[in-house]
Amino acid sequence: MASLETEYLGLKLKNPIIVSSSGLTNSVDRIIELEKAGAGAVILKSMFEEQILHETTDLLQHNDYPEAGDYILNYARENTLKIYTQLIKNAKQKVQIPIIASINCVSDSDWETFAIDLQDAGADAIELNIYPIPTDKNKNSEYYENVYLDIVKNIKSKIDIPVAVKIGKTFANLLYVADQLHAYGANAVTLFNRFFETDIDIDAMKLTSAEIFSTSADIRSNLRWIAMVSAKTDIQISASTGIHSGEDAIKMLLAGATTVQLCSVIYKNGNKIIAEILQFIENWMKKKNFKNLEQFRGKMNYESIKNPSVYERSQFMKYFSAIE
C-alpha cells in the first residue's frame, strides 16, 4: 500500500494535503470536519492586524473622545488575540492533525508579540502572511525584501516553533529571496499568496473585487517557480493556489513541493474533495509503483529533468513562434 505520509515544518503529516488559511479553518467544528475528511493539517484563518485597525477606526468614528483611541486599539488587539489563541487551544484538544497559526501584521513589534502568544497557545507552527505594498517609488526592491527578512529574523529569535512564510511572486529575484528567507531562519515558503485583486465596474464607475476563487489554470506559473525554488534552494515548499484536482496536486509534488494547500476547491466542492484528491494520488502512485512520496517528489523539478530550460521564460517565444 502506498504511503502518503510526509514531514513538513518538522511535523509529521499523514498526507501532504493542508487546508489553507481561510474561513474554512476559523472554527473548531470546521477543523474537526476537515480532519474527518482527510486533511493532513490546517492553517487557521489569518489574524490580520490591518482588520483590527480597520475595526478600531470604525469604533472611533462613533466615539466623542479621540483620546480613547489607544485604549480602544489595545482592547481590540487583546480581544482578537484572546479569541484566536483560544481557537488554537480548543482545536489542539479536539484534533490530532497539526494546527498551524497564521498572522498578518502591519506594526513591526506586533509580529513578535503575536507570534509568541500563538506559540504559547500551542500552535504547532506559524505561517507568516507578509505583503508590504511597494507604493514608495523612492524605495528600491532591496528595502522591501529586507522587510520580509527582518520580520523572520526577529520572530525566529523569539520563538522555537517552525515558521513558514507565505509570499507572492513579485520579486526581482524570487530564488534569492527564498534562499535568504531560509538563511534567516524560515523553515518553509508557501508559494504563492493569493492576494485580494481589484476590478473596475465600468457602469457604476467604482472599484470592485475580482474573482475570489482560484482555478486549475493558476498552477501554471506556480509550477515553474516551485520547480526552480525546490531545485535551487534547501527550503521546504508548500504549494498554494490553483490546486483543484489530484492531478494538480501530483504536478506540484513532482515539481518539488512538500505539501499542497487546498482552499477554493473545497469551497466549490465541499470537504469530500479532500478524500477524492488523496485517492487519486494513491491510485496514481500504485500505477507508477511508487511506495512513498519521496520516491517522486521533485522528480520533475528544474535540476531533475534533461532540459531544464523548458522552465525558463525564453521558451515562451519559442513555443508560440510556430503558431501562425
In a domain, 228, yes or no: yes
Taking residues 194-219, report their average pLDDT. Answer: 78
**Nearest to 12, CA basis, from 51, 46, 50, 41:** 41
User: What digits encode the pLDDT tens for the residues 31-78?
Assistant: 999 999 999 999 999 987 555 554 544 544 555 545 554 545 565 678
Q: What pLDDT is recorded for position 322?
A: 52
pLDDT(4) > 70: yes
In a domain, 54, yes or no: yes
| Domain total of the chain | 1
Q: What pLDDT is recorded for position 60?
A: 47
Compute the C-alpha angle 280/243/130, nearest 5°: 140
In a domain, 1, yes or no: no
User: What digits encode the pLDDT tens for the residues 257-284?
Assistant: 999 999 999 999 999 999 999 999 999 9
Q: What pLDDT is recorded for position 146?
A: 93
Q: What pLDDT is recorded for position 70?
A: 57
User: What digits encode the pLDDT tens for the residues 114-167?
Assistant: 999 999 999 999 999 988 778 889 999 999 999 999 999 999 999 999 999 999
Q: What pLDDT is recorded for position 133?
A: 79
Rounded to whole angstroms, how far apart are CA atoms 324 and 315? 17
Q: Indicate the average pLDDT of the chain.
A: 88
Q: What pLDDT is recorded for position 313?
A: 60
Q: What pLDDT is recorded for position 302?
A: 93
Rounded to whole angstroms, how far apart are CA atoms 213 and 265? 8
Taking residues 174-195, report their average pLDDT. Answer: 94
Q: What is the 3-state secondary structure (H, E, C) of the chain?
A: CCECCEEECCEEECCCEEECCCHHHCCHHHHHHHHHHCCCEEECCCEEHHHHHHHHHHHHHCCCCHHHHHHHHHHHHHHHHHHHHHHHHHHHHHCCCCEEEEEECCCHHHHHHHHHHHHHHCCCEEEEECCCCCCCCCCCHHHHHHHHHHHHHHHHCCCCCCEEEEECCCCCCHHHHHHHHHHCCCCEEEECCCCCCEEEECCCCEEEECCCCCCHHHHHHHHHHHHHHHHHCCCEEEECCCCCCHHHHHHHHHHCCCEEEECHHHHHHCCHHHHHHHHHHHHHHHHHCCCEHHHCCCCCCCCCCCCHHHHCCCHHHHHHCCCC
Taking residues 166-180, report their average pLDDT. Answer: 94
pLDDT(223) > 90: yes
Q: What pLDDT is recorded for position 152?
A: 95
Q: What pLDDT is recorded for position 77?
A: 76
Q: What pLDDT is recorded for position 6?
A: 98
**194-208 burial code (b ≥16 CB/10 A, e <16):** beeeeeeeeeeeeee
Rg for the chain, CA atoms, rounded = 21
- Residue 214: pLDDT band (50, 70, 90) is confident
Least confident piece of the model among 66-80, 168-182, 206-220: 66-80
In a domain, 86, yes or no: yes
Name 111's Cβ contacts closer than 8 Å, sequence gap at least 6. 103, 105, 128, 151, 154, 155
Q: pTM, whole model, 2 decimals?
A: 0.89
Residue 277 domain boundaries = 6-320
Residue recorded with cell 475580482: 210
In a domain, 122, yes or no: yes
In a domain, 310, yes or no: yes
Rounded to whole angstroms, how far apart are CA atoms 145 and 167? 11
In a domain, 65, yes or no: yes
Q: For a pLDDT cut of 90, what percent of the chain falls above it? A: 66
State which of 63-67, 76-80, 201-205, 315-319 shows the largest mean pLDDT. 201-205
In a domain, 300, yes or no: yes
CATH value at residue 248: 3.20.20.70
pLDDT(312) > 80: no
Q: What pLDDT is recorded for position 65?
A: 47
Taking residues 201-230, report their average pLDDT. Answer: 85
